[in-house]
Amino acid sequence: MIKRLVAATAVAALALTACSGGTGAGTAGGSGGDNAPVTKIKLVAAEYSKDNTAAFWNKFASAYKAKTGIDLDVQVVSWDDIDQQSSTMIQNNAAPDILNLNAYASYAKDSLLYSSDEVLSDSVKSDLLPNFVQSGTYQGKMYGMPDLSSARALFYNTDLFAKAGIAGPPKTWDEFTADAQKITALGNGTVGYAMPLGPEEAQAEFSIWMFNNGGNWKTDDKWTINSPQNVDTLTFLKTLSVNDKVTQNNPGKTNRTDGAFPLFQSGKAGMVVGFSPLAATLDKDAKVKYATAPMPTKAGGAPATYGVTDYLMAFKKPGNQDAVKAFYDLYYSPDQVNTFIKAEGFLPVTESGVKQFASDPKLKTYLDTLTGAKLTPTDDPNWDRVKLAVQQNIGAAVAPNGDPKAVLDKLQAQAESGG
Amino acid sequence: MSSAPGGGAGAADTAAPAPPRGNRPPVAAGSGRTNVRSFAALPWLGPALVLIAAVVFYPAVELVRASTSDYSITGLRKGSAGLENYVKVLAHPDLGTVLVNTVVWVVAVLALSLVLSLGLAQLLSKEFFGRRVVRWAVIIPWAASLVITARLFTLLLDYNYGIVNRFLLAVGIRDTPIDFLGDDRWTMPSMIAVGVFVTLPFTTYVLLAGLKAIPSDVYEAARVDGASPWQAYSRITLPLLRPSLLVASVLNIIYVFNSFPIVYTLNDRNPGFAHDTTITFMYKLAFKSADKSVGMSAAAGIANVLLILAVVLVYLRVSRWKETAD
Amino acid sequence: MSTSTVLDTGPSTVPGRTPRAAPSRGAGYRAIRPYVLALAGFVVAALFALPYLVMLLDALRPSGDVLATPPTLFPRTWQWNTFGTILSDERFLHWLKSSLIVAATSTVIVLVIAVPAAYFTARHQFRGRTIFLLIVLMTQMFSPTALVVGLYREFFELNLVNTYLSLILTNTAFNLAFAIWILQGFFSSIPREIEEAAQLDGCSRIATLWRVMLPLTLPGLVTTVTFTFIAAWNEYVVALTLIQDDARKPLTVGISSYVTGYQQSWDQLFAASLIAIVPVVILFAAIEKHLVGGLTAGAVK
């Protein structure tokens, strides 16, 4: 009996220590010094939705395999965890071949990426929308290939607007305040504007207001976070919350996904800044009657649209250049890229995509402005830090004791010192 | 700590819910352990040691290496950083807040859990109608994933759509909702309440197992001696539960220190570090704050382990663990 | 009451401390005692289950109603098919299978490794014994979040990324501490006389451990199994990092897909989470009765 236990222990110890073999999926990309073409590449993709993201990429992998003979390992990671996952891989020199993320410039700065000259066919590159090419370009070369885009618009609850006797969406900030006050006055917990300045996406919420007051994060290649317009904008947002009291409770600590959007979806908010996935949810629920409009501007000038794109970047690894190029060729074929974007409910990144989507009346508000949409400075590696600083600090400015100028001064100093 | 007459002799062992043996002679350590050479232990302890070395200590060494390395924000190692990451963590403007939060969090969750668990374990050790079902119900918060429980509570406690506020308003306890997760006065108490809720099942079952190890004849003897229920509890049950309490509290100190999902999720709408503990501080340093430094995060991780180790060693010393273990 | 006062109650009552006089509870209390206990039990059960009952009600309404303002306890529209949808989702079933394989295997290996270690430590004095117990305890102090980078490196070099084995090894190692600590406590508490008697009866050392000691430590084993299974079942960050194939993800990682920043299915998230609780409760229900019943009472006589 002793023998049996000792044997069992020994076997267990062996099994636990001699950890070779197994059924590992193998290291992605070749690790050999030679540049023999790889037979397998790895994609780490961010998850936009449970129903569509993994399904699309798995199908894509089959198509890719059929076309090139190369295996495509797909790992879909939630947005909450993808920074940690990519960092872990890079710390261990195990970067994937393709990474899907909302930033790329720091990776380009670290010389980890292929530029479009190396992996993008000319026909593909010329089809990309120019403002996305620009935001994907770091020091004169394009590294951030856009996978999809979205544009923000003002969503307003038409029932509440009618009840409050408001004819149409506000065009200026004064009208905006007045409308929000009328809706708040309806009572019963209704708020004029659901404002998410919590850490989840504060930089997006602030950007869209900032752009519509003539401000920007950077102007002529210099940080202008604490410019007078921006202080004015943030002060306006604080006033909405603290003085006018037309926002929901505690906007500096409200996130978008589980804070501002649900309030609008419940019919309790007159206005919110939304994007096409919100529209899809609202249509599905069919509880709230809403319409979309361009953002109001400070003085009533031409509205600016805030656009966002995420990126598919390619890591330089021995022997994977052709495989990566084939990946992009296939991804940007209209059948693939537009199918993905349509399934996820986002907006196109190519000229041909804009044409294809133009027939959808629901997307008209966005498509008209997409080519002129302004983006955050994702082409500056420092932005990757500044964005986090913004997310963690802006909310404090709209609290009752908040100081918009002080907050922006601090962010400006942080940006100037390299994030 | 009171020094009981008789010293450690005959005292219960480390984790031992030891049944008392009437007049246990004051022999060395009273453990009845045979002395053996260390190598004789290898076949018995070997597999555990190998596994711990491979799966815990190797990555821990990597963590130390990371804490002395300089990283780009992408995770690319750029070279050695010496002790710079540690210096930066120690100089971090929010470190003080984080440490105070951690002390409040650990002490409150631990103390409340232990006190409540003592009562719960007592209840669950009694025979009563429906006891099995009650035992199943108590295990649910433990069985459920912490991430999900934390998410559930962000919904339950929300200012706008939280059912808890709905209830408070409906029964007239409050006129306006409480911003449990956004109001600075309420955030920590809310996190502690949820922390206690998920810590109770584990603690209760460790104490219940301890209670079950106390022979009933001890109580009979006490009853014959005319002890009141409270006397029986304070003089017999608690002392005999001491080993279980020790295990429950030592492990809970560690778990509560390292409890990530509750603090992170309930606090995810709050900017900055106002309600973070050392473990979420560590994570945010790497991925959510403008520091975005895995080197600093690793340094904070090492500091966190040293902090826990110090607290546990002090705790074990105060509770005279070593004396009884050797 | 602080922890230290709890522990301050030393093995023998300190001389001079007068115990508080207890309110005497007479025959009247004894008569209603069963009802009082049952009522207390009911209240406790309700408190623990209540949040999860709300979760169940949330699973039974359309996702858009879950975060609705104002909230209602009961669904405005009952959506009965959420659980059916989840259980017929192939991906969910894969995740469930992964979780079961990893948690069950880890639990078995923990027992196989921890029982001999705990038994030996409880019964023998040797150089390094205290160090061994402290080392084991220290494994708990490293948060997996901090270690995950090193774990990835290790399993990557071993070509074990994306395998169940990597998760099983990790879960086993991280849960050994609890098992060894609690089991060695239970072994220590069993009077040596019992073991000696068994050996006099001709049992071998291992037979004694198997036939005499283990049955006596059942409450400890039950606690260990429960603890390990739950810890492995709910492990998140290591699985997130080490598993890349969707089909091999465990439930904890998989179900995060139900709610993303762009598409939320709160109903399905909660239904899936409730289903995930079921195996644990079944396991617990099956072994819970061994927590009952005194341990060594009357065994040494």
Q: How confident is the model at residue C3 (pLDDT cuts 50, 70, 90)?
A: very low
Q: Which of A51, A92, A85 is nearest to C240 (CA)?
A: A85
A209, pLDDT greater than 90: yes
Cross-chain residue pair C263–A48, CB shorter than 8 Å: yes
pLDDT at A197: 96
Residues A58/A62/A67/A68 CA torsion (nearest 10 deg): 80
pLDDT at B154: 96
Q: How confident is the model at residue C26 (pLDDT cuts 50, 70, 90)?
A: low
**Please, which contacts does C1-8 make with residues 24 or more away whose CB atoms are closer than 8 Å?**
C1/B111, C1/B115, C2/B111, C3/B110, C3/B111, C3/B114, C3/B249, C4/B1, C4/B318, C4/B319, C6/B114, C6/B115, C6/B118, C6/B238, C6/B245, C7/B1, C7/B242, C7/B245, C7/B246, C7/B249, C7/B319, C8/B1, C8/B2
C233 neighbourhood in chain B, CB within 8 Å: 143, 145
Between CA C16 and CA A343 the distance in angstroms is: 77
Least Cα separation, residue B276 to chain C (angstroms): 16
> What is the Cβ-side half-sphere exposure of residue C144, based on CA atoms within 13 angstroms?
24
Cross-chain residue pair A107–B74, CB shorter than 8 Å: yes
B207 with B121: CB under 8 angstroms? yes
C82 with C271: CB under 8 angstroms? yes
A258 neighbourhood in chain C, CB within 8 Å: 67
B243 with B8: CB under 8 angstroms? no
ipTM over 0.90: no
Dihedral class, residue C293 (left if φ above 0, else alpha if ψ from -120 to 50, else beta): left
Q: Distance from first CA to last CA of chain B, Å, rounded?
A: 19
A360, pLDDT greater than 60: yes
pLDDT at B319: 78
A75 neighbourhood in chain C, CB within 8 Å: 244-245
Which among B63, B134, B137 has CB closest to C150? B63
pLDDT at C9: 29
Share of chain A above pLDDT 90, in %: 84
Between CA B325 and CA A268 the distance in angstroms is: 62
Average pLDDT, whole number, for chain C? 84
Residues 13-32 of B with CB under 8 A from C: 13-19, 21, 29, 31-32
Residues C214/C216/C220/C223 CA torsion (nearest 10 deg): 90
pLDDT at C230: 92
Could you give phi then psi for residue B263, rounded to 5 degrees? -65, -40
C297, pLDDT greater than 60: no
Give the residue from C17, C36, C125 with the most B CB atoms within 10 Å of its CB, the best one to mutate. C125
Q: How far is CA C84 from the centre of its chain?
A: 28
A contact chains, 3+ CB pairs < 8 A? B, C
Quick count: other Cβ atoms within 10 Å of Cβ A204?
20
Strands, E assignment, A168-220: 191-193, 218-219
Q: Which of C169, C173, C148, C147 is nearest to C160 (CA)?
A: C169
pLDDT at A395: 94
The answer to whether C196 faces chain A, any CB pair under 8 Å, is no
Cross-chain residue pair A266–C68, CB shorter than 8 Å: yes
Cross-chain residue pair A16–B51, CB shorter than 8 Å: yes
pLDDT at A7: 43
Q: Which letter does DSSP use for residue A296 in this model?
A: P
C15 neighbourhood in chain B, CB within 8 Å: 5
Q: How far is CA C210 from the centre of its chain?
A: 23
Residues 40-69 of C with CB under 8 A from B: 40-42, 44-46, 48-49, 51-52, 54-55, 58, 66-69
Token output for A225? 């976070």
Least Cα separation, residue C130 to chain A (angstroms): 23
DSSP labels, B77-89: EEEE-TTHHHHHH
Residues 77-106 of B with CB under 8 A from C: none
Which among C8, C154, C296 has CB closest to B1? C8
A197 with A251: CB under 8 angstroms? yes
Residues 115-154 of B with CB under 8 A from C: 115, 118, 120, 123-124, 126, 128-149, 151-153
pLDDT at B326: 43
Could you give phi then psi for residue A147, rounded to 5 degrees? -95, -35
Between CA B303 and CA B320 the distance in angstroms is: 25
C109, pLDDT greater than 70: yes
pLDDT at A95: 95
Q: How far is CA A105 from the centre of its chain?
A: 14
Note the pLDDT tens digit of each residue in C44-54: 999 999 999 99
Could you give phi then psi for residue A383, rounded to 5 degrees? -60, -30
Least Cα separation, residue B184 to chain C (angstroms): 23
Alpha helices in B33-180 (DSSP H): 42-52, 58-67, 84-90, 95-125, 131-143, 146-156, 163-170
Q: Which of B202, B211, B188 is nearest to B270 (CA)?
A: B188
Note the pLDDT tens digit of each residue in A166-183: 999 999 999 999 999 999
C258: nearest CA in chain A? A50
Mean local confidence (pLDDT), A302-324: 95
Give the residue from B57, B61, B148, B149 with the most C CB atoms within 10 Å of its CB, the best one to mutate. B148
Residues 257-286 of C with CB under 8 A from B: 259, 266, 269-270, 273, 276-277, 280-281, 284-285
Q: What is the pTM of this model?
A: 0.88
Q: How confident is the model at residue C292 (pLDDT cuts 50, 70, 90)?
A: low
Note the pLDDT tens digit of each residue in C224-250: 898 899 999 999 999 999 999 999 999
Mean local confidence (pLDDT), C272-301: 70
Helix (H, G, I), strand (E, B) or coil at B41: helix
Between CA A335 and CA A351 the distance in angstroms is: 14
Q: Which letter does DSSP use for residue A287 in this model?
A: -
Largest interatomic CA distance in chain B: 74
Cross-chain residue pair A47–C169, CB shorter than 8 Å: no
Between CA A353 and CA A335 the distance in angstroms is: 10
Provide CB contacts within 8 A for A271, sequence distance 6+.
Answer: A154, A155, A156, A157, A176, A179, A180, A183, A192, A193, A194, A264
Mean local confidence (pLDDT), A1-30: 38
Cross-chain residue pair C241–A88, CB shorter than 8 Å: yes
A254: nearest CA in chain B? B269
pLDDT at A312: 97
pLDDT tens, N- to C-terminus, chain B (326 residues): 333 333 333 333 333 343 333 333 333 344 567 888 878 888 889 999 999 999 999 999 999 999 999 999 999 999 999 999 999 999 999 999 999 999 999 999 999 999 999 999 989 988 888 888 898 899 999 999 999 999 999 999 999 999 999 999 999 888 899 999 999 999 999 999 999 999 999 999 888 888 877 777 777 777 777 778 788 888 888 888 887 888 888 889 999 999 999 999 999 999 999 999 999 999 999 999 989 999 999 999 999 999 999 999 998 888 765 445 54
C153: nearest CA in chain A? A92
Cross-chain residue pair A8–C165, CB shorter than 8 Å: no
Note the pLDDT tens digit of each residue in C112-171: 999 999 999 988 888 888 888 888 888 989 888 889 999 999 999 999 999 999 999 999
Residues 28-47 of C with CB under 8 A from A: none
Which among B212, B242, B318 has CB closest to C4? B318
Average pLDDT, whole number, for chain A? 90
DSSP labels, B228-296: -HHHHIIIIIHHHHHHHHHHHHHHHHHHHHT--HHHHHHTTTS-TTTT--HHHHHHHHHHTSTT--HHH
Residues 195-224 of C with CB under 8 A from B: 219-220, 222-223
Token output for A410? 């601090």
Least Cα separation, residue A13 to chain C (angstroms): 9
The answer to whether C125 faces chain B, any CB pair under 8 Å, is yes
B299: nearest CA in chain C? C146
B contact chains, 3+ CB pairs < 8 A? A, C
Three-state secondary structure along chain C? CCHHHHHHCCCCCCCCCCCCCCCCCCHHHHHHHHHHHHHHHHHHHHHHHHHHHHHHHHHCCCHHHHCCCCCCCCCCCCCCCHHHHHHCCHHHHHHHHHHHHHHHHHHHHHHHHHHHHHHHHHHEECCCHHHHHHHHHHCCCCCHHHHHHHHHHHHHHCCCCCCHHHHHHHHHHHHHHHHHHHHHHHHHHCCHHHHHHHHHCCCCHHHHHHHHHHHHCHHHHHHHHHHHHHHHHHCCHHHHHHCCCHHHCCHHHHHHHHECCCCECHHHHHHHHHHHHHHHHHHHHHHHHHHCCCCCCCCCC
Between CA B87 and CA A109 the distance in angstroms is: 26
B269 neighbourhood in chain A, CB within 8 Å: 198-200, 253-255, 258-259
A211, pLDDT greater than 70: yes
C68: nearest CA in chain A? A266
Strands, E assignment, A202-355: 218-219, 222-223, 269-274, 290-293, 307-314
State the count of interchain CB pairs (< 8 A) between A and B: 121
Going from the C-alpha of C237 to that of each of A250, C73, C253, the distances in angstroms are 31, 33, 8
Which among B38, B163, B247 has CB closest to C181? B247
Three-state secondary structure along B193-216? HHHHHHHHHHHHHHHHHHHHCCCH
pLDDT at C291: 67
C262 neighbourhood in chain A, CB within 8 Å: 48-49, 277, 344-345
**DSSP element (H, E) containing A366:** helix A364-370
Between CA C162 and CA A23 the distance in angstroms is: 8
A9, pLDDT greater than 80: no
C205 neighbourhood in chain A, CB within 8 Å: 2
Give the residue from C260, C266, C267 with the most A CB atoms within 10 Å of its CB, the best one to mutate. C260
pLDDT at B31: 54
**DSSP element (H, E) containing A389:** helix A383-397
pLDDT at A11: 38
The amino acid present at B224, given as its one-letter code, is V
Which among A19, A384, A395 has CB closest to B271? A395
Residues 239-258 of B with CB under 8 A from C: 239, 242-247, 249-251, 254-255, 257-258
- Cis geometry, peptide bond prior to residue C70 (ω within 30 degrees of 0): yes
**DSSP element (H, E) containing A64:** helix A53-68
Between CA A351 and CA A126 the distance in angstroms is: 9
A244, pLDDT greater than 90: yes
Which among A73, A277, A287 has CB closest to C244? A73
Between CA A354 and CA A349 the distance in angstroms is: 7
B311 with C143: CB under 8 angstroms? no
Which among C163, C206, C262 has CB closest to A23? C163
